[in-house]
Chain A
Amino acid sequence: MATELPVLKPADFASDQDIRWCPGCGDYSILAQMKKMLPTLGFPREKICFISGIGCSSRFPYYMETYGIHSIHGRAPAFATGLKNVRQDLMIWVITGDGDGLSIGGNHLMHAIRRNLDINIVMFNNRIYGLTKGQYSPTSPLGKVTKSTPMGAIDNPLHPLSIAIGCEGSFVARSIDVNIKHLGATLKRAAEHKGTSFVEVYQNCNVFNDGAWDYATDRQTKADNVLELEHGKPLIFGKNRDRGIRLNGMNPEVVELGKGISEDDLLFHDEKADEPSLAYLLSRLRNEDGFPEPIGVFRAIDKPKYDEQLNQQIEYARETKGEGSLEKLFHSGDTWTVS
């Protein structure tokens, strides 16, 4: 293209609609980081499209001055799939939540990820149903007392990233709403990845589940409870960066550095590993089991993309058969003439 793209600012991505999330909601931060990150991509605004389902997070498209669809509950990945298949030129973001994406829309999320269309999926995980006012969600912990579980939840919770990896995800990452630098950088990595990017964002619902992620966001505790992944680097965490994750047989364990244990003994992160086991193992590390919870990019590999292959098949058919002709089609096979 000869003409240079206009330089956009975050404000250029703000629509004229009043934002109606509760004051203090973690969604504000994600919206702000998205608006800040998008101009850095140098991608035309009119080619960006946000698609959401139903839930608090799913109001997101209304607040972005891009194209967008606020669709129906759980189905956003399916809308995105149809759109991407016919419009490879677009950058498509699916905005979903733990209820929308893992409960009613679990099937579509699974299939979008395994097809590896070149789209980006951001799941706002607040471990609660917000818009329907406080029922437990598929990521709520066992025993969670909510309006619909007065005696405690008895559903085993899902780990979103384990699901994404199990669905053969090619890009799987996690960030935290208030960790704005990390969040911005993670969203950017997701945008730049070719294939389906799945990003889980720990998001605080300050009305119905306030403090669900305190252990990962509190100044005092976060360094001990969160482990920032870096490709090719050993898994080290802690305020003093004196602890790490080591494999003991098939099982991870927390060890203290020094006293005969060096960095070389630790697990090293490899986001490009074809084998998903390491990424899966990392996705299983939970605070409640005494582990720090990793954030960052768990997995980023290159794999064939559904939309690309679909369109390649069309090109190939046109190259080998020529552009479709109705005349030829109608007269193919047996015909007869009545005079």
Chain B
Amino acid sequence: MSSTIESPPESAKSVEHLAAATVRLAGDSGDGMQITGTQLTNTSALAGNDVATFPDFPAEIRAPKGTRAGVSGFQVHFASEDIFTPGDHLDALVVMNPAALVTNLPDLKSGGILIVNEDNFESRDLKLANLEENPLENNSLDDYRVFRVPMTNLTRKAVEMVETEDGKGLSQKVADRCKNFFAMGLIYWLYGRDLDPTLRFIREKFGKRPEIVEANERALRTGWNYGETTEAFISSYQVEKATLPAGTYRNVMGNQALAWGLLTASKMSGADLFIGTYPITPASDILHELSKFKEFGVRTFQAEDEIAAVCSTIGAAFGGAMAVTSSSGPGIALKGEAMGLGMILELPMIIINVQRGGPSTGLPTKTEQSDLMQVMYGRNGESPLPVIAASSPSDCFDVAQEAWRIATSFMVPVILLSDGYIANGAEPWRIPDVADLAKIEIKHPQATEGEEFQPYARDERLARPWALPGTPGLEHRLGGLEKQDITGNVSYDPDNHQHMTDVRQQKVDNIADAIPEQAVVGPENGDLLVVSWGGTFGACTTAVERCQREGLSVAHAHLRYLNPFPRNLGDLLSRYQRILVPELNMGQLRAILRAKFLVDAEGLNKVQGKPFAVTEIVDKIKTLLA
């Protein structure tokens, strides 16, 4: 879309050029910070920057207004260079109330820009945030460039003349809701952003209510004009375009890219997509996204619970669909028994775990990588399943297709790990040429005259045939009782059970032949290898690059395939003096690597519901190499 509503305003003030900027907007969970952050992301990407984001919001939909518990934030890192993380420290912070100020201030760089909605710093607001003193009136903010802006009052004035059907004008409540667009307008001025994409967004989102469209537009423009006219702001900033590989780009969020990857796998394999799922944070957006695409033949089923979700998925897999279920750790726990059934039935399907803080209900809206052991070992009996993990929002698109490729070529449920950080994060995605996307071959057998059908006969990879109901002559029964080799009949024979257990393990191991060898970034041997998986990709990549630039002998291997591991992983680990495994858990991959390869891997571990800061990893690398 390139329709221009009007030419973007240009600032008459001086412009400073920056390589990158990290901005966070923080306010009450009802203040519209997520919308504001998403808009800043899109607009920055459209301006040609590389972007990475970190939305951070509470589990409560509306925690008590003005309290620290209710603070919702959205961080955007935009840059003229290739970036992999949302940034450790903030260049600019916009806060809508005292609670947002105190909870976010520690992340603001010394000398950073702090824009405050001063209208929300009355004694009542301070009390809600448990503050005894007004931080705007003591010396606590001396280290920052503070801009006190009466956002609420300016927004109210800006929308005063908006006409409504009843002739009364907007209520104060509705008027105050526009103040996030005022804040956005000011940030847009500060970073020289084009207003058009957000104006379009406002028209699309609120189109049915012209008075809301007008009010938000006015608030946005007033914010921009405020930056331009008030003397407080001397200059604005410009982050030049990033030099990304040629192509057409768009922004994607992790769950969206995952849904699109699934759609693509469905198209590429010719199997209609079925997703049986139950709403759970942070996985629900996969269901929301897929339910929009019925014209792709997508059948979405919101089941009565997690167990029904996975069981319906197995039923759909039996019927020949591209069957998917999605959840997060607590839901995966409930699905465990059925996942074991899927394994022994040897039907292809994808089981998605968008990890969140655990255990139990844990931290639903925060990120963590603590379900690796769960998906590897969390089922009764010997129940090996392949596990692959996405590393970034756009990587979800590729991983979804890879999961289906493995599932169908080996007749096995595949576990796909994502996490809250990837799911809600956004980054530019180079749109692939549809003609270049790889086909996924699926075969269903037909009856052969005079030959009895054997549902557990296997091909060279040890995959069994995917015979579909409706095929004459292939009638067969599957079940969770141990099966006799080849015939699939119920068998209690001790040797057969050993054999079938071995075969199911061997089949998963064989996947190592169908995946690429593990690559390393950096020297092929040396002092230290950083091994990572999942959503820590960006922080580890950036940290290792930084250390390499400083001349340290450090390399990085980021694993997509966690079960089985790439064939060369053991050899690779042996080529470095030390191994560091940074994880947002207490050392799960590290434990597996130590058990499997007998290496003395060391960990950098935290479970604080937050991604790694690059500096944390850099510091650890330096400590190990000191």
Within 8 Å by CB of B1, from A70, A333, A339, lies A333
B307 contacts across to A, CB distance below 8 A: 75, 78, 108
| Segment with Cβ contacts to B, from A268-276, A296-304, A310-318 | A310-318
Within 8 Å by CB of A81, from B308, B432, B470, lies B308
Q: For the complex formed, measure the closest distance between the CB of A194 and the CB atoms of chain B, giving whole angstroms.
A: 19
Q: For the complex formed, measure the closest distance between the CB of A77 and the CB atoms of chain B, giving whole angstroms.
A: 8
Within 8 Å by CB of A330, from B272, B431, B475, lies B431
Decide yes or no whether A28 CB sits under 8 A from chain B: no
Q: For the complex formed, measure the closest distance between the CB of B292 and the CB atoms of chain A, giving whole angstroms.
A: 9
Within 8 A of A (CB), among B312-363: 312-321, 323, 337-338, 341, 345
Decide yes or no whether A9 CB sits under 8 A from chain B: no
Decide yes or no whether B515 CB sits under 8 A from chain A: no
Quick check: A17 and B308 within 8 Å, CB to CB? no
Q: Would A335 and B249 be within 8 Å (CB), given that A71-B480, A324-B297 are in contact?
A: yes
Chain B residue nearest to A311 (CB atoms) is B299
Query: How distant is the Cα of A327 from the Cα of B272 in the complex, in angstroms?
Result: 18
Q: For the complex formed, measure the closest distance between the CB of A155 and the CB atoms of chain B, giving whole angstroms.
A: 22
Quick check: A90 and B319 within 8 Å, CB to CB? yes
Within 8 Å by CB of B304, from A69, A87, A108, A324, lies A108
- In this complex, the member of B297, B472, B474 whose beta carbon has the largest number of chain A beta carbons within 10 angstroms is B297
Quick check: B250 and A333 within 8 Å, CB to CB? yes
Quick check: A330 and B263 within 8 Å, CB to CB? no
Chain A residue nearest to B314 (CB atoms) is A79
Quick check: A111 and B479 within 8 Å, CB to CB? no
Q: Would A339 and B246 be within 8 Å (CB), given that A47-B470, A87-B470, A326-B267 are in contact?
A: yes
Q: For the complex formed, measure the closest distance between the CB of B279 and the CB atoms of chain A, giving whole angstroms.
A: 15
Query: How distant is the Cα of A49 from the Cα of B337 in the complex, in angstroms?
Result: 22
Quick check: A82 and B341 within 8 Å, CB to CB? no
Quick check: B304 and A326 within 8 Å, CB to CB? no
Query: How distant is the Cα of A316 from the Cα of B320 in the complex, in angstroms?
Result: 22
Q: For the complex formed, measure the closest distance between the CB of B315 and the CB atoms of chain A, giving whole angstroms.
A: 3
Chain B residue nearest to A335 (CB atoms) is B250
Q: For the complex formed, measure the closest distance between the CB of B429 and the CB atoms of chain A, giving whole angstroms.
A: 9
Q: Would A310 and B299 be within 8 Å (CB), given that A329-B260, A329-B263, A331-B431 are in contact?
A: yes
Quick check: B197 and A334 within 8 Å, CB to CB? yes
Within 8 Å by CB of B305, from A45, A79, A107, lies A107
Chain A residue nearest to B313 (CB atoms) is A82
Decide yes or no whether B208 CB sits under 8 A from chain A: no
Query: How distant is the Cα of A251 from the Cα of B296 in the complex, in angstroms?
Result: 54
Quick check: A326 and B294 within 8 Å, CB to CB? no
Q: For the complex formed, measure the closest distance between the CB of A44 and the CB atoms of chain B, giving whole angstroms.
A: 7
Contact with A along B477-499 (1 / 0, CB 8 A): 11111000000011000000000
Q: For the complex formed, measure the closest distance between the CB of A118 and the CB atoms of chain B, giving whole angstroms.
A: 14
Decide yes or no whether B106 CB sits under 8 A from chain A: no
Decide yes or no whether B45 CB sits under 8 A from chain A: yes
Query: How distant is the Cα of A15 from the Cα of B48 in the complex, in angstroms?
Result: 65
Decide yes or no whether A4 CB sits under 8 A from chain B: no
Decide yes or no whether A103 CB sits under 8 A from chain B: no
Query: How distant is the Cα of A100 from the Cα of B1 in the complex, in angstroms?
Result: 55
Quick check: A86 and B272 within 8 Å, CB to CB? yes
Chain A residue nearest to B469 (CB atoms) is A67
B276 contacts across to A, CB distance below 8 A: 78, 81-82
Chain B interface size range: 35 or more
B448 contacts across to A, CB distance below 8 A: none
- In this complex, the member of B318, B476, B490 whose beta carbon has the largest number of chain A beta carbons within 10 angstroms is B318
Decide yes or no whether B311 CB sits under 8 A from chain A: yes
Query: How distant is the Cα of A326 from the Cα of B294 in the complex, in angstroms?
Result: 13
| Segment with Cβ contacts to B, from A58-66, A223-231, A236-244 | A58-66
Decide yes or no whether B473 CB sits under 8 A from chain A: yes
Within 8 A of A (CB), among B445-474: 469-474
Chain A interface size range: 35 or more
Quick check: A65 and B475 within 8 Å, CB to CB? yes
Quick check: B249 and A86 within 8 Å, CB to CB? no
Quick check: B315 and A51 within 8 Å, CB to CB? yes
Within 8 Å by CB of A72, from B311, B320, B431, lies B311
A71 contacts across to B, CB distance below 8 A: 311, 314, 341, 479-480
Within 8 A of B (CB), among A43-61: 44-47, 49-51, 61
Within 8 A of A (CB), among B225-271: 241, 243-251, 260, 263-264, 267
Decide yes or no whether B61 CB sits under 8 A from chain A: no
Q: For the complex formed, measure the closest distance between the CB of A125 and the CB atoms of chain B, giving whole angstroms.
A: 23
Q: For the complex formed, measure the closest distance between the CB of B440 and the CB atoms of chain A, giving whole angstroms.
A: 14
Quick check: B480 and A61 within 8 Å, CB to CB? no
Q: Would A334 and B318 be within 8 Å (CB), given that A45-B475, A87-B470 are in contact?
A: no
Q: For the complex formed, measure the closest distance between the CB of B589 and the CB atoms of chain A, giving whole angstroms.
A: 30
Decide yes or no whether B113 CB sits under 8 A from chain A: no
Quick check: B434 and A317 within 8 Å, CB to CB? no
B263 contacts across to A, CB distance below 8 A: 324, 326, 329
Contact with A along B396-439 (1 / 0, CB 8 A): 00000000000000000000000000000000000110100100
Quick check: A81 and B301 within 8 Å, CB to CB? yes
Query: How distant is the Cα of A329 from the Cα of B294 in the complex, in angstroms?
Result: 13
Quick check: A46 and B296 within 8 Å, CB to CB? no
Chain A residue nearest to B452 (CB atoms) is A16
B272 contacts across to A, CB distance below 8 A: 86
- In this complex, the member of B241, B264, B341, B477 whose beta carbon has the largest number of chain A beta carbons within 10 angstroms is B477
Quick check: A111 and B304 within 8 Å, CB to CB? yes
Decide yes or no whether B191 CB sits under 8 A from chain A: no
Quick check: A85 and B301 within 8 Å, CB to CB? yes
Decide yes or no whether B84 CB sits under 8 A from chain A: no
Decide yes or no whether A248 CB sits under 8 A from chain B: no
Q: For the complex formed, measure the closest distance between the CB of A314 and the CB atoms of chain B, giving whole angstroms.
A: 5
Quick check: B251 and A334 within 8 Å, CB to CB? yes
Decide yes or no whether A322 CB sits under 8 A from chain B: yes
Chain A residue nearest to B204 (CB atoms) is A333
Chain A residue nearest to B347 (CB atoms) is A69
Within 8 A of A (CB), among B277-304: 293-299, 301, 303-304
Quick check: B319 and A87 within 8 Å, CB to CB? yes
Quick check: A15 and B295 within 8 Å, CB to CB? no
Listed by A's residue number, 16 A-B pairs whose Cβ atoms lie within 8 Å are: A46-B473, A68-B476, A70-B478, A78-B303, A79-B315, A81-B308, A82-B315, A82-B319, A84-B315, A86-B316, A321-B295, A324-B295, A326-B267, A327-B434, A333-B250, A338-B249
Interface residues, chain B, with chain A CB atoms under 8 Å away? 1, 42, 45-46, 48, 197, 241, 243-251, 260, 263-264, 267, 272, 274, 276, 293-299, 301, 303-305, 307-309, 311-321, 323, 337-338, 341, 345, 431-432, 434, 437, 469-481, 489-490
| Given pairs A69-B477, A83-B318, A336-B48, 7 additional interface contacts (CB within 8 A) | A70-B481, A79-B314, A81-B276, A82-B317, A85-B312, A107-B305, A322-B295
